[in-house]
Amino acid sequence: MSIHYDTKLQIFHLQTENTSYVFGLARGTYPVHLHWGKKIRSSAISDLFDPGAMGFSSTVDPAEPSLSLDTLPHEYPGYGSGDFREPAYVAELANGTTVTELAYVSHSILKGKPALEGLPAVYAETEEEAETLQLVLEDSLAGLRTELSYTVMKGFDTIIRSARLINTGTAPLKLNRALSLALDFPHDEFELIHLSGSWARERHLVRAPLRSGHQGIDSKRGASSHQQNPFLALLSPNAGEDSGEAYGFSLVYSGSFSAGAEVDQYGSTRVTMGINPFGFRWLLEPGESFQTPEAVLAYSDAGIGGMSRIYHRLYRTRLARGLYRDEPRPVLINNWEATYFGFDADKIEDIARAGQALGIELFVLDDGWFGRRDDDTTSLGDWFVDKRKLPQGLSDLAERVNRLGMQFGLWFEPEMVSPDSELYRAHPDWCLHVPDRRRSQSRNQLILDLSRPEVCDYIIDAVSSVLSSAPITYVKWDMNRHMTEIGSASLPPGRQGETAHRYMLGLYRVMEEITSSFPHVLFESCSGGGGRFDPGILHYMPQTWTSDNTDAVERLKIQYGTSIVYPASAMGAHISAVPNHQVHRSTPLSMRGDVAMSGNFGYELDLTRFTEQEQAEAAAQVAFYKEIRSLVQQGDMYRLLSPFEGNETAWMFVAEDQSEALAGYFRVLAGPNTARPRLRLQGLDPDKDYILKETGVIYGGDRLMYAGLLLPELHGDFRSKLLHFVAVTA
């Protein structure tokens, strides 16, 4: 890990353990990209860029016709003075024009990684863990100064980028676009992957060749969304799970975003990523600045899997924070699909008692405990206990659960308000709305305007009061609709375009204050399941409810796709009842358990209805998960067979020291007259022997990886097998 600057050649060389990121200064003015990929030495880098003469491109200087902004591989391009590709920023001057041109002014190289004001970010625990380059660019005529930040981290093959734009002039500036990065590649020989879907079908893997023009993804929903995830990657042709080059781009942000790849007329590729410019406007008064979210770039020459494991380790250990970053996550039972809104204290205690008999450690009371919440038409915002259902209050119920030897958790939806609520009747202006327009509802609710400090203060006080009232050790933080009528009663007309991002800044402030005030609480994010599964939220809440779809077959694709970027420790995964409440499919308890044990394990059904056989099977599942949960939550994940490519899925988790491994195999449908499958494992030490704990048979690591393991016969549809290996000690 190091950052070097060659003063003679004016070249910056950022190095991680296995990669290099190199850019120089064309004419000492324009930062131009030279290389990002496998690590190279610093010799003879400067001639990687040769602009050449291109037809129909304007020139910076008639005396130097080969220098055109339209062909420079810019590090942070603008628009209007010669570059016709996607810009990283657009600033509107007081005279209404948008022509700006940033030029190099200075740079500094710092130990450590500075925090981003008001925004979630990857962090270094010591200064020795990171090094940061801050590059200062300026357009003195426009009064615009931009500070580009590049960080390298010890032990991670990542480049972490962000930008800060500052008004150094005497007149206001309007930012119409402020992305986190732009990066130019010298060719277009790539395939693009991203994660797309919908509610109950999140983060399905999409892969396609790059083509001429612009390909991209975005969210205009005020959230990172079920539909798209703030991630994309470029792959070398035919790259697979364990071979080929993968260039990943992941945005640490939870609001509307844009990410894309543009192939220009000369076959070069520009990747851009950041806050979605659609609907975004930000007024910068003289002296004010705007900080973009950061983007995390990960490179691997060991395929998609190699890239994924870089993200997994970084996000698990240097983005997630707090007690539960490293502590085992408890096995839980949630009452939502068991009771929905119809429960009382005795019913909850009955389910908790059934869970205690199985070895479950945490009971979570879901929606319906507050206000007069008998359905989803009322009471959001009224965070006081419904004494009709819980006459003795939360503290009594929590203590009843605690007496069973279990922890107690609670559901909230703090960002929302029901029109039928005491809060809305008192403060109808506290929701996002536009004067004289309808207030569109989704799930019978409106969104509180978190761009307003007083609204944030209310949420902080209301949630903190509840968390202080009872022994609560877990919170499920839900958010069940996207933004419409994006306006704020507290902002003037010239700043209405700031509402959505100011909402995110308010949300981050709320989450920071609450999670910091209750460090013993495990917070799990949720947004109709996986509608806000992104790195921004992961900074405050170390896990997210992966999807409202709990069907074991559907979860294979959802959890596989999610794992392209996010570690298993971030995924909430539960066993639910059958027929499944989302797709009405019936799958065996064994497969439901095997899939759910590939994340943070729990149950979401009425345990009091289990048969004796189901009780015994569930107790065995809980005991087994406790045995392997540290491996799942902290190990390296390897994907072996893709549900997007066939009838079988397989993945595995390997301890960092390769002393233990858990492999999971899942088959959806049975076939006639088929051979027994042979599964080749990954990530093991080829020189170690491993015992399969179920059978006691010992296998060489080399045998398991290079020759494979013949799986046992599985009869019928929806079958699975978990295989637990432990290294044999001398």
- Which residues are known catalytic residues? 478, 548
Compute the distance between CA of residue 229 and CA of residue 628 in angstroms, rounded to an integer: 29
**Residue that is written with structure tokens 């080399």 in the block:** 702
Closest CA to 475 of 543, 407, 569, 411: 411
Helix (H/G/I), strand (E/B), else coil: 608:
helix
Closest CA to 38 of 266, 313, 335, 236: 236
* Phi-psi category of residue 690: left, alpha or beta, with phi > 0 → left and psi -120 to 50 → alpha: beta
Compute the distance between CA of residue 434 and CA of residue 423 in angstroms, rounded to an integer: 19
Helices (H), 296-439: 303-318, 336-339, 345-358, 393-403, 422-426
- DSSP E strands in 155-275: the ranges are 156-167, 173-185, 191-198, 201-209, 213-218, 228-235, 246-251, 257-263, 269-275
Residue 681, phi then psi, degrees to nearest 5: -85, 170
CA angle 184, 189, 193 (to 5 degrees): 85
* Residue 425 buriedness (CB in 10 A; 0-12 / 13-18 / 19+): exposed
Strand 600-604 vs strand 636-641: parallel, antiparallel, or unpaired?
unpaired
Compute the distance between CA of residue 36 and CA of residue 133 in angstroms, rounded to an integer: 16
Going from the C-alpha of 367 to that of each of 108, 343, 712, the distances in angstroms are: 51, 10, 42
Closest CA to 375 of 476, 451, 444: 444
724: tokens are 């637990």
Compute the distance between CA of residue 208 and CA of residue 223 in angstroms, rounded to an integer: 25
Q: Does 686 sit behind a cis peptide bond, omega within 30 degrees of 0 on the bond before it?
A: no
- Rg, Å, the chain Cα set: 27
Other Cβ atoms within 10 Å of 506 Cβ, number: 21
| Residue 401 identity (one-letter amino acid) | V
Helices (H), 548-683: 552-562, 589-596, 612-634
Helix (H/G/I), strand (E/B), else coil: 571:
strand
* Residue 349 buriedness (CB in 10 A; 0-12 / 13-18 / 19+): middle
As a residue count, the chain comes to: 730
Q: What is the dihedral of CA 460, 466, 469, 475, to 10 degrees?
A: -100
